[in-house]
Amino acid sequence: MKLEDAKLKYIHTWGSLATSWGINKTMAQVHALLLVSTKPLSADEIMETLKISRGNVNMNVRALIDWGIVSKEFVVGERKEFFVADKDIWELFKQVTKERKKREIEPVLKVLDELQEDVHDASEEAEAFKKVMNDLSSVTKTVNGILEKAIKADEHWLLSNFTKMIKK
């Protein structure tokens, strides 16, 4: 397989997989393209490669910048904006984990805490509801703690601890 064909296959596969994780397909494809590119790319180059509109490129590049996994890069002699993806996969994992934790886990924890505090009914059904909310909160806090450790950890720490968990 030629390199360009392999890159396109990766980009399209990554985009398709991302939808399973709740991530916009085009956003994932733009990120994948920038990840495998050896040079900064302009919006025009992204449009041409992925066959998408300028608006789609701009919207998704801005989202990737907001996630902290893509940045603008200045190219001498050019007036266009160019974009690059962080190539450190471990840092990418940590940044995506940090963003997903902030956008998904933390709001769930807030709602679960509110639900436990706001139900003032003393019935058996209310107590059962509070117990379920407490159990969900406990599991979610554990997951949140694991994610927090992964974000703060270096690659070797996480792999060694993951290996220990698997062996048990």
60 within 8 A of 26, measured Cβ to Cβ: yes
| pTM of the full structure | 0.75
pLDDT value of residue 73: 93
pLDDT value of residue 158: 62
**Which has the closest alpha carbon to 133: 117, 112, 110, 119?**
112
**Which has the closest alpha carbon to 64: 95, 41, 101, 104?**
95
What CA–CA distances, in Å, run from 40 to 58, 86, 159?
15, 11, 31
pLDDT value of residue 136: 93
C-alpha–C-alpha distance, residues 166 and 159, integer Å: 11
87 within 8 A of 100, measured Cβ to Cβ: no
The DSSP-derived string for 75-101 is -TT--S-EEEE---HHHHHHHHHHHHI
pLDDT value of residue 154: 74
Tell me the mean pLDDT per 10 residues along the chain, length 168.
92 88 89 95 96 96 94 91 92 87 92 86 88 92 89 70 65
pLDDT value of residue 110: 93
pLDDT value of residue 162: 62
pLDDT value of residue 165: 66
C-alpha–C-alpha distance, residues 99 and 95, integer Å: 6
pLDDT value of residue 155: 64
C-alpha–C-alpha distance, residues 112 and 135, integer Å: 10
